[in-house]
Amino acid sequence: MKILYGVQGTGNGHISRARAMADAFSNLQHVEVKFLFSGRPASEYFDMDVFGEYEVRRGLTFVSEAGKVSMLKTTLNNSLVSFVREVRELDVSGYDLVVSDFEPVSAHAAKRQGVPTVSVSHQSAFAFDVPKQGQSLLDKLIMHYFAPTETKIGLHWYHFNQPVLPPIIDLQTVEPTKNGTILTYLPFENLEEVVRVLQHFPQRFICFHPSCQEARVEDNVDVRPLSKAAFHKVLASCDGVIANGGFELPSEALSLGKKLLLKPLSGQFEQQSNVSTLDTLGLATSMESLDLDTIREWLKQTESSRVKYPNVASELAAWLGEGDLSTLPLLRESLWSQVSFPEHVTDLLSDFWPQKTRKRAMLSMRLPSQANKSLRQH
């Protein structure tokens, strides 16, 4: 089985998820995987050894400024001519399957050449009836056409009676502790503004930011450049996490039992939906801006929630390697049966999704007819 795995490189969450998948694929002797990344310059990728000889394309990306998506800069930063050329030049005919984590070049190339495609991403969850906040018609069109695939495998914190899987987490062997520090990761905010806000409080903050080139300490704020190993070490030992509204970092934090304070990226419906969902489930506190009062009250919290998720990457990689997409409902049922939520979350879920309804929905999930075939027939 030969797989081309396309990964959106704009944010580090997609790459973190891909690392877990790459590690899982490495244990499968009958599967050969090539990774392709797009969305940022090749020089800006880091800690990429696990991917072997990967490929990079320009692709398409979103540009943020001052904590919100800048449509003007996004438009100016992308070249439709370059994108079309990359799609036409990418030969995927030698692959049995193309997997896309919201990566558009590989997805469109596979569609153009008739190669089977599967999306594995949080974005794919929004194709189904999951909680959404502030989704516009443009958002719907982007989700549908940006990286189109035949089979969509969405990832979410809960299944909401929909055909989605639990999060893929790159922290399966980490044992969490708490040392009083607060991890801060707000890559879409101005670093100097973040530091000024954090200096209002007595706690020690460890702030990772893409604009930091060299580690420094400013009073109680330890500012550090991005590093996978250093980031995960701090995450495992901190008391809580202040972040934007992405999917992967909150997933990792929840799996370690860390309290969450999230500020969604303004104008980005996915982040707004994520933060609203976690807030509703009682798994995070939200703020629309870097609000001192909200941060102060959150810092006083001593309780946190831990969600136990299975090793989704291992089971998903093995399933993809088998090439039989018709068994996806069985994979979903197996993975969700291994998830354990805190009691207060279970009570909330019982109010909205009674057990009989949840079970009936899980049993009734079916794939589109065109996906009910073995890839080996391709």
Instruction: Give the model confidence (pLDDT) of 131-187 as tens digits.
Output: 999 899 988 998 999 999 999 999 999 999 899 999 999 876 778 999 999 999 999
User: Where do the domains of the chain lie?
Assistant: 2-169+310-377, 182-300
134 neighbors 269 (Cβ within 8 angstroms): yes
Instruction: Give the model confidence (pLDDT) of 274-309 as tens digits.
Output: 999 999 899 999 999 999 999 999 999 998 989 999
What share of the chain has pLDDT > 70, as a percent? 89
C-alpha 125/C-alpha 119 separation (Å) is 10
pLDDT at site 68: 59
The CATH class given to the 182-300 domain equals alpha beta
Residue showing tokens 């070249």: 79
Which one of 2.120.10.30, 3.40.50.620, 3.40.50.2000, 2.70.98.60 gives the CATH number of domain 2-169+310-377? Answer: 3.40.50.2000
**Exposure class string for 281-318: b at 16+ Cβ within 10 A, else e:** bebbbbbeebeeebbeebbeeeebbebebbbbbbbbbe
Q: Is the pLDDT of residue 370 over 60?
A: no
Instruction: Give the model confidence (pLDDT) of 96-143 as tens digits.
Output: 999 999 999 999 999 999 999 999 999 999 999 999 998 999 889 989
pLDDT at site 64: 66
What mean pLDDT value characterizes the chain?
90
For residue 273 the two structure tokens come to 């939906």
Total length of the chain: 378
What share of the chain has pLDDT > 90, as a percent? 78
39 neighbors 133 (Cβ within 8 angstroms): no
Q: Pairing state of beta strands 221-224 and 216-218? A: antiparallel
Equal fold, 2-169+310-377 vs 182-300: yes
The dihedral over CA atoms of 374, 156, 337, 232, expressed in degrees to the nearest 10, equals 110
